[in-house]
Amino acid sequence: MEVKVENVTRIFGPVTAADHVSFSFGSGSIFGFIGPNGAGKTTTIRIMATLDLPDGGDVLYDGVSAVLYPEEARKVVGFMPDSLPGFKDIMVWEYLDFCARSFGLKGKLRQKRLREVEEFTELGDMREKPLAALSKGMKQRVSLARALVHDPAVLIMDEPAAGLDPRARLELRNLLKILASQKKAILLSSHILSELQDICNGAVIIERGKVLSAGSLREMSAAVEEKNAPAEEEKTVTIILECAARNGELRLKLLENPAVAEVREDAGGRLHFALRDWENTLSPLMAGLFGAGFPITGFRKEELSLEELFMRITTGKVQ
C-alpha cells in the first residue's frame, strides 16, 4: 500500500490550517506526524480519514482518490481518534460489533474479525464492561480495536499515547511494531517525541500548516546537518563506539588521533567522540584500533534525535 498526500489545502476563514501539505509513506512503515499545537495535524488527518474535504489537493491510497472515492478509501483506512465517544450505556463488545457492522462485515466473517481484534488488543476480559467504566488505557485499546476491525492496510492515529501511563505506552508501542510487521502503513501524531523515536522509521514535521520536512529519520538528519554545516570547514560528525573492555585505554588511544576530539562515555559504556573529516579519517582510525587489539563490538555515526530535529527545523511560531 502506498499513501500519497498531495498538496492538501484546507482553509477556515482567515486561517489556512493545511497549506499544500504533501508527503508519502508505505506498507511496513511507521511515520510520526509531528508539529506544535495548531500546526494542522488533526486537519490533515481528518482529510486522510475522509472525515473532511480539502479545499485543494488529494489523498491517494494506491492511486485511489479519497476525495473522489471516499467509500473505497474507507475500506483500506483505519482511523483511531484521540478519544473514544462517551457512550454510557453500551458494552465494549456491542460497540465493536456495531463498528464491524458499519463496515459491512456479516455473519461468520464479522464474528471472526471481532475475536481477532479482541485477542490482539487483549480486550477479552473487558468485553462485558460499559465503555464509560474503562480506564484511559483500556479506552485506547477499544479505539485501536475499532480501527482494526475491518483489517485495513492503513492505520491513521491521532495522539494515541496521550494520557497513557508508561506501561500502557509500552504496550501500545509493541502493538504498533507488530502491525508494521504485518505490512500495515501507519501514521501517528504525537507530542511525545521520545516515544516516536523508538518506533518510527520516518516522520513528517509540520508547522503553521506547511510541511517543513518529511522522509526517513536518517534522510531528515542528513539534510539538517548539511544545511547547518559550515561551507568551508571539514565535515565533523559524532561517532558512537562500543567496546567489550579497556574503555580507559581506548579513550586515550582515540585522543592521540589529531582528528578526534571531545571523547565522552555514556551510561551504557559507549564512547562518543567528534571526528573531523570523517569520510577520510574513519577507516584508518578503525583499522588502527582493530590492529591494536581493542575488542570493538560496534560503531556507528550518531544521528540527530527526533527531538533535536524538531527543534532545529521548527521555529516555534503558531497561526
Q: What is the CATH number of the domain that holds 287?
A: 3.30.70.100
pLDDT tens digits for 47-70? 999 999 999 999 999 999 999 999
Please report the pLDDT score of residue 229 as a whole number. Answer: 58
At 279 the pLDDT is 85
- pLDDT tier, 113 (very low <50, low <70, confident <90, very high otherwise): very high
- 97/176 same-domain check: yes
- Whether residue 168 is predicted with pLDDT greater than 50 in this model: the reply is yes
pLDDT, greater one: 84 or 127: 127
Task: Tell me which of 300 and 182 has the higher pLDDT.
Answer: 182
Does residue 182 register a pLDDT over 70?
Answer: yes
Q: What percent of the chain has a predicted confidence (pLDDT) above 90?
A: 61
The pLDDT mean for the chain works out to: 89
Percentage of residues in the chain with pLDDT exceeding 70?
Answer: 96
274 within domain boundaries: yes
* Position 311 in a domain: no
Number of independent structural domains in the chain = 2
Mean pLDDT, range 192-196, rounded to an integer: 79
Highest mean pLDDT among 229-233, 236-240, 284-288: 284-288
pLDDT surpasses 50 at 232? no
Q: Is residue 213 part of a domain?
A: yes
Q: Which domain holds residue 291?
A: 231-304
| Shared-domain flag, residues 201 and 284 | no
Residue 242 pLDDT > 50: yes
Pairwise CA distance, residues 52 & 45, whole Å: 9
Torsion of CA 154, 158, 160, 162, to 10 degrees: 170
pLDDT bracket for residue 234 (50, 70, 90): low
* 8 Å CB contact between 16 and 10: yes
Same domain, 141 and 279: no
Write out the three cell numbers for 85.
465517544
Least-confidence region, from 128-132, 135-139, 206-210, 231-235? 231-235
Determine which of 136-140, 159-163, 223-227 has the lowest per-residue pLDDT on average.
Answer: 223-227
Instruction: CATH number of the domain at 130, please.
Output: 3.40.50.300
Q: What sign for the dihedral angle of Cα 303, 304, 306, 307?
A: positive
What per-residue string of b and e applies to 280-315 under the rule 16 or more CB within 10 Å gives b? ebbeebeeebeeeebebeebeeebbebeebbebbbe
Q: Is residue 61 part of a domain?
A: yes
- Comparing 105-109, 150-154, 164-168, the range with the smallest average pLDDT is 164-168
Q: What is the pLDDT of residue 196?
A: 83
Using alpha carbons only, what angle is made at residue 34 by residues 62 and 66, rounded to the nearest 5 degrees? Answer: 25
Classify 93 as helix, strand or coil.
Answer: helix
What digits encode the pLDDT tens for the residues 255-265? Answer: 999 999 889 88
Tell me, yes or no, whether 79 lies in a domain.
yes
C-alpha cell, 288: 588502527
Instruction: Check pLDDT > 90 for residue 290.
Output: yes
Band (80; pLDDT cuts 50, 70, 90): very high
- Gyration radius of the chain over CA positions: 24
The reported pTM is 0.79
Q: 19 with 161, same domain?
A: yes
Which among 306, 296, 288 is positioned nearest to 242, based on CA atoms? Answer: 296
Burial tier of 240 (Cβ tally within 10 Å: 0-12, 13-18, 19+): middle
Amino acid identity, position 6 = E
Cβ 72 vs Cβ 64: under 8 Å: yes
- What are the start-end ranges of the E strands in the chain? 2-12, 15-26, 30-34, 56-61, 64-65, 77-80, 154-158, 185-189, 202-207, 210-216, 236-243, 260-265, 271-276, 296-301
Regarding beta strands 2-12 and 64-65, do their DSSP bridges make them parallel or antiparallel, or are they unpaired? Answer: unpaired
Residue 222: other Cβ atoms inside 10 A: 15
Cα separation, 41 vs 34, whole angstroms: 7
| 3-state percent breakdown (helix, strand, coil) of the chain, nearest 5 | 40, 30, 30
Tell me: do 174 and 30 sit in the same domain: yes
User: Which pLDDT band, with edges at 50, 70 and 90, does 93 fall under?
Assistant: very high
